[in-house]
């Protein structure tokens, strides 16, 4: 039976929270690009951490800090759960074979121990790199390389070694490799 | 006493929902209602065979895009099992629960109305729907957008583009200023002796510091040979228009002639909202926020630009957000449940020059007592002043991503 008195402690529905992310990330978090990342198929913990890192500024962003700050820890956890259950659909993008090959080498050397299966497997990190939109990947990698985004010590080490060895071109090559979804 | 409008009958499966207007709000409502409860029969009634998005239409004016690239049809919604009828809605009988159209009558259990906006031509002597076919406002994307573009193309180098900004409240607060920027960008490249003058009855506008920062960087704003000049004040409101000389006269008695004139008139809810008796003295539609049900008629919900949803602005982003909340609420009501608490957001990217865009976002939720839409504290806001060139550059990519994802979210 319904009553006239609304429950003031009732949380905002997850479906309603998530529907608002779709306006930028695409329905169910499947992004048509050319830049905004898709959200589906990532680990729940990873998504929660990212949103918390946006809130605190540990992770650089253009808009996500302003957005993430609008959600409680409970809402973030429900959003993370929701998107972790949506499919990841790899973005189809044009890539340059030479750069892809170079990116593959760098990936194998610096990143493959955690981002397994060419960045397709989310099991160790919760994040999916392969098939993500290239401009986003390039931008987020630069943020790590420049220290604007913070991450766990080991990944930070890997990033700084990579950047010392290969510079901006190395980042571009990595983004190209992930874009090839190979 | 009403229980948030739950009717005494519980409809459950196979309830009929008629949605009026297949624009941003209506199309989103149709899709998200189907997603929320596939058993509901949904009929979407739209007078045009396809829709041209206003968003990104300023890029048609600068020549960056064609009007065709803004066109969306209804086949994908049909594939979802939504009945799409091309017809004009002429009346709504709220007692009999029937929507009357040029293609017959449609009964509903609940009706969602999203007719967009109409213009208060009467506030400017000499302006009318007919004159607007010659002096386009282009505030709905379509033939007027193409006409305005061709007038800009025909204008000689050294001409003046006068953009008359509308008074509040109006569709898409940043759009006049984005338009001015886009046209200035076109002039900068192809007609550098020309100028954009914004004639504005308002003394401030949204994202103003960001626009002005960009105009200074890109268009010499504030200098002697600025490509954009903003002429603002209550005395700058336009009271009359002379179509033959393309000139306007302000409250203050100043007369300004234009090479190309773009007069964006004051606005009100779409005509059908008036016919159906859904408007109040303000010319917009009052609603309760738990389900966007009209406070004037039961079982009719109003979303998008036509409704009063303060603090949400009249934008496509907001219309889409309201539509999703309304769809969840209507699905609940038709299943005999009290609607849950909803959230809302608004966001807007403005592309103001080559490789230069900026954003604003705002987050809202239904208040705990279900009475108002409240802004979520400490969230939202604009891109920072003095953001890096790189951030402005990638914001263009994010703006196009928004367009691609958003239009798919609405129409696909
Ligand atoms: C230049 C410009 C730029 C903009 N840029 C942005 C932007 O970047 N981001 C953003 O979020 N918003 C933007 N907007 C605003 C956005 O376009 C509107 O806020 C949005 O379209 C409102 O949606 P709506 O559903 O209320 O109305 P609309 O989208 O206008 O839909 C109304 C629909 O109802 C139909 N209709 C009306 N009456 C009847 C009837 N009697 N019978 C049948 N059908 C009927 C109409 O044909 C129309 O398809 C911009 C607007 C302009 C003018």
pLDDT tens-digit profile, chain A (182 residues): 455 677 888 999 999 999 999 999 999 999 999 999 999 999 999 999 999 999 999 999 999 999 999 999 999 999 999 999 999 999 999 999 999 999 999 999 999 999 999 999 999 999 999 999 999 999 999 999 999 999 999 999 999 999 999 999 999 999 999 999 98
B8, pLDDT greater than 60: no
Burial of B242 (0-12, 13-18, 19+ CB in 10 A): middle
Q: Report residues whose beta carbon is within 6 angstroms of any ligand 1 atom.
A: B 20-26, 45-48, 51, 54-55, 57-58, 88-89, 114-116, 139, 171-172, 175, 179, 270, 272, 304-306, 314-317, 319, 348
Residues in chain A: 182
Mean pLDDT of the region B9-18 = 74
Distances (CA, A) of B407 to A32, B317, B396: 10, 10, 17
Residue B13 binned pLDDT confidence (cut-offs 50, 70, 90): low
| Nearest in space to B270 (alpha carbons), one of B305, B318, B301, B300 | B305
Mean pLDDT of the region B189-199 = 97
Determine the residue of B54, B273, B285 to mutate for testing ligand 1's pocket, defined as the one with the most ligand atoms within 8 A of the Cβ atom: B54
pLDDT at residue number A152: 92
pLDDT at residue number A1: 42
CA separation for the pair B267, B281 (Å, rounded):
13
pLDDT at residue number B14: 85
For residue range A8-51, list pLDDT tens digits in order: 889 999 999 999 999 999 999 999 999 999 999 999 999 999 99
Rama region for B116: left / alpha / beta (φ>0; ψ in -120 to 50; rest): left
A23 to chain B: which residues are within 8 Å by CB? 317, 320-321, 345, 347, 402, 405-406, 409
Whole-number mean pLDDT of chain B?
Answer: 96
CA separation for the pair B248, B162 (Å, rounded):
9
pLDDT at residue number A4: 63
Contact B373, A9 (CB under 8 A): no
A17 to chain B: which residues are within 8 Å by CB? 343
pLDDT at residue number A5: 74
User: Is A23 within 8 Å of B402 when comparing Cβ atoms?
Assistant: yes
CA separation for the pair B383, A127 (Å, rounded):
27
Distance (Å) from CA B139 to ligand 1 centroid: 9
Residue A125 distance to chain B (closest CA, Å): 25
Chain A CA closest to residue B5: A4
B2, pLDDT greater than 80: no
CA separation for the pair A27, B256 (Å, rounded):
47
Q: Which of A2, A3, A7, A24 to probe the B interface (max B CBs under 10 A)?
A: A24
CB pairs under 8 A between A and B: 130
Residue B12 binned pLDDT confidence (cut-offs 50, 70, 90): low
């Amino acid at each position: 039976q319904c009553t006239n008195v609304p429950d003031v402690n009732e949380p905002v529905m997850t479906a309603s929270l998530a529907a608002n992310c779709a306006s930028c990330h695409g329905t169910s978090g499947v992004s048509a690009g050319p830049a905004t990342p898709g959200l589906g198929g990532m680990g729940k913990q990873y998504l929660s951490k990212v949103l918390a890192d946006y809130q605190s500024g540990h992770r650089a962003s253009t808009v996500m800090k302003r957005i993430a700050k609008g959600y409680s820890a409970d809402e973030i956890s429900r959003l993370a759960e929701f998107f972790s259950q949506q499919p990841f659909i790899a973005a189809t993008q044009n890539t340059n074979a030479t750069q892809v090959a170079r990116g593959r080498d760098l990936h194998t050397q610096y990143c493959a121990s955690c981002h397994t299966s060419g960045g397709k497997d989310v099991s160790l990190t919760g994040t999916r790199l392969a098939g993500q939109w290239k401009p986003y990947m390039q931008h987020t990698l630069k943020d790590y390389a420049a220290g604007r985004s913070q991450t766990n010590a080991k990944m930070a080490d890997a990033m700084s070694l990579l950047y010392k060895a290969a510079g901006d071109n190395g980042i571009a090559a990595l983004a190209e490799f992930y874009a090839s979804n190979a | 006493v009403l229980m948030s409008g739950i009717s005494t009958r519980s409809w459950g499966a196979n309830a009929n929902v008629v949605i009026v207007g297949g624009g941003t709000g209506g199309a989103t409502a149709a899709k998200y209602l189907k997603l929320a409860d596939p058993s509901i029969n949904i009929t979407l009634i739209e007078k045009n065979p396809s829709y041209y998005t206003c968003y990104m239409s300023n890029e048609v004016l600068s020549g960056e895009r064609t009007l065709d690239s803004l066109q969306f049809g209804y086949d994908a919604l049909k594939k979802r099992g939504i009945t799409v009828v091309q017809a004009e809605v002429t009346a709504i009988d709220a007692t009999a629960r029937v929507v009357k159209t040029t293609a017959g009558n449609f009964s509903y259990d609940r009706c969602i109305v999203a007719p967009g906006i109409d213009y208060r031509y009467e506030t400017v002597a000499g302006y009318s729907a007919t004159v607007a076919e010659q002096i386009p406002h282009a505030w709905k994307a379509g033939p007027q957008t193409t006409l305005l573009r061709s007038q800009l193309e025909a204008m000689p180098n050294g001409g003046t583009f006068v953009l008359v900004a509308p008074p509040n409240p109006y569709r898409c607060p940043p759009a006049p200023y984005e338009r001015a920027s886009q046209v200035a960008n076109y002039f900068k490249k192809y007609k550098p002796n020309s100028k954009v003058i914004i004639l504005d009855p308002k003394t401030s506008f949204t994202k103003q510091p960001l626009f002005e920062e960009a105009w200074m960087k890109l268009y010499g704003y504030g200098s002697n040979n600025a490509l954009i000049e903003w002429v603002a004040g209550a005395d700058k409101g336009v009271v009359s228009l002379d179509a033959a000389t393309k000139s306007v006269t302000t409250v203050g008695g100043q007369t300004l002639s234009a090479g190309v004139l773009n007069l964006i008139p004051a606005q009100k809810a779409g005509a059908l909202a008036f016919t159906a008796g859904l408007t109040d003295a303000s010319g917009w539609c009052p609603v309760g926020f738990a389900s966007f049900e009209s406070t004037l008629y039961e079982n009719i919900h109003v979303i998008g630009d036509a409704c009063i949803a303060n603090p949400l602005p009249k934008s496509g982003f907001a219309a889409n957000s309201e539509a999703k909340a309304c769809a969840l609420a209507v699905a609940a009501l038709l299943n005999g449940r009290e609607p849950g608490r909803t959230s809302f957001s608004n966001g807007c990217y403005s592309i103001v020059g080559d490789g230069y865009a900026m954003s604003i976002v705002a987050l809202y939720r239904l208040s705990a007592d279900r009475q108002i839409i409240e802004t979520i504290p400490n969230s939202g806001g604009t891109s920072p002043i003095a953001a890096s060139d790189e951030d402005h550059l990638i914001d263009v990519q994010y703006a196009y991503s928004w367009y691609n994802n958003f239009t798919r979210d609405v129409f696909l």
